[in-house]
Amino acid sequence: MTIVGLQNVKPKRDTLLGQYKRHWALFVMLLPVLVYYIIFHYFPMSGIIIAFKNFRFNDGMFASPWAADNGLAHFKKLFTGMYFAPVFRNTLIISLYKILFTFPAPILLALMLNEIRSQKFKRVAQTITYMPYFISWVVLASIVIEVLSPSRGFVNYFINQLGMDSVYFTGDPRTFRGVLVGSGMWRNTGYQAIVFLAAMSNIDPEMYDVADLDGAGRMQKIVHVTVPSIMPTIIIMFIFAMGSIMNDDFDQVYNLLNAKTLSVGDVISTYTYRVGLQQMDFSYATAVGLFRNVVSLVLLTGSNFVFRRVSETSLF
């Protein structure tokens, strides 16, 4: 009777508060991280109120008067003004170019590195490819400008040897966007390939053994084993890339931009810097930044929704 009675007793369910009490040491370790994010990431979000006010230093952020049109005057200026539309168009075009050309580059590089049999050569090649990522854009922009210089650069030297005129790559509106995409690819491809190499390291070796038994070649194994196995990682990284379309690389563009290429290279971040810090129009600059973040959120959630519908992989 006692044994039967014990069998009918259900184990006591641990409450959420009980789990917190049992793992209190882990939460203490997490506390500095939470404090950091609250102070430096969440608390500054209160500054978006500036976008709806005419900010004045003497009055402060909360005492400054509200903008006209129920606080939407700066957004009205944003959508009806003649300066923001070209900047928004440039940002979209450059970001789409980067997704089209730069996003596949680390995948292809990771596939090539994964096929290298010599581990020593593989480590050397990987180190060389991701080394530019750790160099500041201030230095890299100077290197790009010198390499592509119409008078001193070796690229134009070879062009001249072929009997053609020199091309001012960083000063010609027709080639400037290509310089941005190419230099960004050179800097980031090796570093981003690490994510896909890590995903490839988790592929079950037995899958390649089965492919060998079926007579598959190296290219067939890449197409039918490697790529499908890392497809969830590719989807996640693509969703992140869609969410960062509006987050253009300010350091890169600012250090390469000049007066001749302003019409095709001026993006939201450089425009915000110019309006907010040089012209001291903090309210309008905050409105531009808020609009950019809203668009990024829409693109992120939209792409996540699409991939959640068409595949089993998504962020949330």
* Contact indicator for 257, 266 with CB cutoff of 8 Å: yes
In the chain the domains, ranked by start, together with CATH numbers, are 69-310 (1.10.3720.10)
What digits encode the pLDDT tens for the residues 263-314?
999 999 999 999 998 888 999 999 999 999 899 999 999 999 999 888 888 8
B/e letters for 97-119, b = 16+ CB within 10 Å, e = fewer, are: bbbeebbebbbebbbebbeeeee
d(CA 70, CA 57): 21
What digits encode the pLDDT tens for the residues 92-131?
999 999 999 999 999 999 999 998 888 899 899 989 998 9
What digits encode the pLDDT tens for the residues 139-196?
999 999 999 998 888 899 999 998 898 999 999 999 999 999 999 999 999 999 999 9
d(CA 254, CA 174): 18
| DSSP label at residue 315 | -
Residue 315's closest CA among 215, 207, 240?
240
What digits encode the pLDDT tens for the residues 302-313?
999 999 888 888
Per the structure block, which two tokens stand in for 78? 């944003």
Q: What is the pLDDT of residue 1?
A: 45
* Contact indicator for 239, 304 with CB cutoff of 8 Å: yes
Backbone angles phi, psi at 125, to 5 degrees: -65, -40
Q: What is the pLDDT of residue 239?
A: 93
What digits encode the pLDDT tens for the residues 8-38?
555 556 677 778 788 888 888 999 999 999 9
Q: What is the pLDDT of residue 246?
A: 84
Q: What is the pLDDT of residue 6?
A: 47
Whether 4 has a pLDDT exceeding 60, the answer reads no
Sorted by sequence, the CB contacts under 8 Å of residue 293 that are 6+ apart come out as 246
Q: What is the pLDDT of residue 12?
A: 56
Q: Is the pTM of this model over 0.85?
A: no
Q: What is the pLDDT of residue 152?
A: 87
Whether 3 has a pLDDT exceeding 80, the answer reads no
The neighbour count for residue 4, using CB atoms within 10 Å, is 7
Whether 90 has a pLDDT exceeding 90, the answer reads yes
d(CA 196, CA 231): 10
What digits encode the pLDDT tens for the residues 208-217?
888 888 888 8
Tracing tokens 């995948």 back to the chain, one arrives at 107
Per the structure block, which two tokens stand in for 46? 């209160």
Q: What is the pLDDT of residue 243?
A: 87
